A and B are shown apart, each in its own frame.
Chain A
Amino acid sequence: GQQVMQIPQYQHVQEGEDFTTYCNSSTTLSNIQWYKQRPGGHPVFLIQLVKSGEVKKQKRLTFQFGEAKKNSSLHITATQTTDVGTYFCAGRTEYGNKLVFGAGTILRVKS
C-alpha cells in the first residue's frame, strides 16, 4: 500500500537556527498537505500543495512539492520557540481517497 516516509523523526535546534523536514512517498501523489500538532493538541492544517514543483511560503515557512510529485519538504527559517511541535505531511494518491500521514517530525527549540 501507499507509504509516506518522513525524516527526521526528531530535531532539536537552537532558537534562530533553520529547520527542515522531508517527506517521501512510494507512489505519485495528487496532493500533499502539511499539519502542525502542538504538544497535547490536535493537528492543525498548514498548507496544501498540488502542482509539480510548487513552492509556497507562509512567513518563515517554505513548502515545496517535488517535480515528480513524490516528495515534499517544509523549511522553517530562524526558528522560534513558538515553532515547537510535531510537523506531519500527509499525501493523497492520484487514485486514492485516503490521506496517508507521515510519521511526523518532532521539533524542539532551545531558547
Chain B
Amino acid sequence: GAVVSQHPSWVICKSGTSVKIECRSLDFQATTMFWYRQFPKQSLMLMATSNEGSKATYEQGVEKDKFLINHASLTLSTLTVTSAHPEDSSFYICSASSGADTYNSPLHFGNGTRLTVT
C-alpha cells in the first residue's frame, strides 16, 4: 500500500532556531501534499497545501513566512518552522493521496513529528 514517511519523529529545539520536517511518499508520486497540525486530543487542522513545483497554499491564520513549505519533487515536501517559539510546540503531520484524483482519494498520513520548543 501507499506509504508516507515523515522525519524526524520528534525534535526538541531551542527558541529562535529553525526546524525542518521532511515528508516523503515512498511508493507513489504526490503532486500535492498536505500539512496538518494537531494539538493534544484535538483534531487535525490543515495548515497548508503543498504543490509540487509551485507555491504552497496556506490556510487562513497560518503565517507563510514562519512555516516555509517546499515541494521540490514529486516525492518530497518539507516544512520548516522558522524562529520557533514554545507556542509552536505541537504535533505536525503530513499526508498525501496516491489516487489519480487527489481531492477524492484517501489520504495517507506520515507518522508525524512531535516538536518541542524550549
- Output the least CB separation between B40 and chain A (Å): 11
Q: How many A-B residue pairs have CB under 8 A?
A: 48
Chain A residues with CB under 8 A of B93: 42-43
Q: B111 contacts A42, CB within 8 Å?
A: yes
Interface of A is mostly: strand
The contact of B104 among A31, A45, A103, by CB within 8 Å, is A31
In the complex, A107 has a CB within 8 A of chain B:
no
Cβ contacts B24-45/A at 8 Å (1 or 0 each): 0000000000100000011111
- Output the least CB separation between B106 and chain A (Å): 4
Q: In whole angstroms, how far apart are the Cα atoms of A50 and B105 in the complex?
A: 11
Cβ contacts A77-89/B at 8 Å (1 or 0 each): 0000000001010
Q: B104 contacts A42, CB within 8 Å?
A: no
Q: In whole angstroms, how far apart are the Cα atoms of A48 and B104 in the complex?
A: 9
Q: A30 contacts B104, CB within 8 Å?
A: yes
Chain B residues with CB under 8 A of A63: none
- Output the least CB separation between B36 and chain A (Å): 8
Chain A residues with CB under 8 A of B106: 33, 45, 48
Interface size class of B (residues with CB under 8 A): 10 to 19
Interface size on A, residues (CB 8 A): 24
Q: Which residue of chain B has its CB nearest to the CB of A86?
A: B41
Contact A97 to B103, CB < 8 A, known contacts A43-B44, A88-B44, A106-B41: yes
Q: In whole angstroms, how far apart are the Cα atoms of A103 and B108 in the complex?
A: 19
Which A residues are closer than 8 A to B by beta carbons? 30-31, 33, 35, 41-45, 48, 50, 86, 88, 90, 92, 97-104, 106
Given contacts A48-B106, A99-B103, A103-B42, 14 further A-B pairs with CB under 8 A are A35-B107, A42-B93, A42-B110, A43-B95, A45-B108, A48-B104, A90-B107, A92-B104, A97-B103, A98-B46, A99-B34, A101-B46, A104-B43, A106-B41
